[in-house]
Amino acid sequence: MATLNDNWLTEKYIDFEYKKYVLLAFLQQVDKDFEIQKLYPSLREIIKHYRQLKALKEKKNELYNAFPAQATDIDMENMQLIYEKIFHDSKLMQELENIIDFSIPQFENHLAEGKKIYDAIESQLTIFPVGVVPLRTKEGYLFIRDGKNADTKVYEYDITLFEQSDAQYRGIHTEYIKTWETDLGITYQYIKLELLKEKQDIPNPATYAIESEWMVPLEETLLPIAKRCLLRYVEDSIS
């Protein structure tokens, strides 16, 4: 599992070669995960660190632009004053900027590779409702089948709405229930009826099945992608 400390940029030594080694060691592990189609948590880590570095770079530019400038010379040909920023980078700040400038393209390359894998897996998924869809779809069951002859894994899902200062967002939480082995008599409708017998707290649950033609890592790849697909599918159905 590829992880990189949140404060990797500033902890220990602020040295370009050292930070380059730390970053490339992390990305080497990411490459190994991607080779076997394990997207998470590596992809989430890359997105987080990439956003942090972009924000740091933008804030530094804002800080630099906010400093006043003083006239240092005169361009006689164009009759203009030449200004120079009073603010100058310290040696430490320059080293950090070098590290950031090196790191951002590295993260961008791996983001592109991760998205390519994500899109390829998502494109071959099939999602559809099981039985009649009730008016209330914010909670229910999710069936996942990984591979054509795979067993059916059942999850209970719950979609929640949370607000931030700028917008409203929906999140989805899943809880594993059980796995039904593949059998001619074990249809999705049969599983749904059995769930109604065992769990009566949701009398008319919304139920969806997601099938993958490929066999990919469940926890690290298929389940996270399936959750986002289900969230989008439900949002589209109620919009």
Residue 170, helix vs strand vs coil: strand
Q: Are 82 and 70 in contact (CB under 8 A)?
A: no
Beta bridge partners of 71: 83
Amino acid at 145: R
* Local confidence band at 73 (pLDDT 50, 70, 90 cut-offs): low
Of 16, 42, 19, 40, nearest to 29 (Cα)? 42
The distance of Cα 180 from the centroid of its chain, to the nearest Å, equals 29
- Token duo for residue 139: 């909670």
Q: What is the mean pLDDT of residues 13-23?
A: 93
Output the pLDDT for position 117.
Answer: 97
Q: pLDDT > 90: what percent of the chain?
A: 57
Amino acid at 188: Y
**In this structure, are strands 206-212 and 125-129 parallel, antiparallel, or unpaired?**
antiparallel
235 or 17, greater pLDDT: 17
* Local confidence band at 76 (pLDDT 50, 70, 90 cut-offs): very low
Output the pLDDT for position 238.
Answer: 66
DSSP state of 222: I
Output the pLDDT for position 200.
Answer: 75
Give exposure, 169-183, as e/b (b: 16+ Cβ within 10 Å): eeebebeebeebeee
What CA–CA distance (Å, rounded) separates 60 from 52? Answer: 12
Query: Which class for 20: exposed (0-12), middle (13-18), buried (19 or more C-beta within 10 A)?
Result: middle
Tens of pLDDT, residue by residue over 116-126, are 999 999 999 99
- Residue 227 pLDDT greater than 60, yes or no: yes
CA atoms within 13 A on the CB side of 108: 8
Domain boundaries, the chain: 16-122, 124-238
| Mean pLDDT across the chain | 85
The pTM assigned to this predicted structure is 0.82
Q: Could you give phi then psi for residue 205, rounded to 5 degrees?
A: -75, 140
Of 48, 47, 44, 42, nearest to 30 (Cα)? 42
What CA–CA distance (Å, rounded) separates 147 from 195? Answer: 23
What CA–CA distance (Å, rounded) separates 119 from 78? Answer: 54
* Local confidence band at 79 (pLDDT 50, 70, 90 cut-offs): very low
- Residue 68 pLDDT greater than 60, yes or no: no
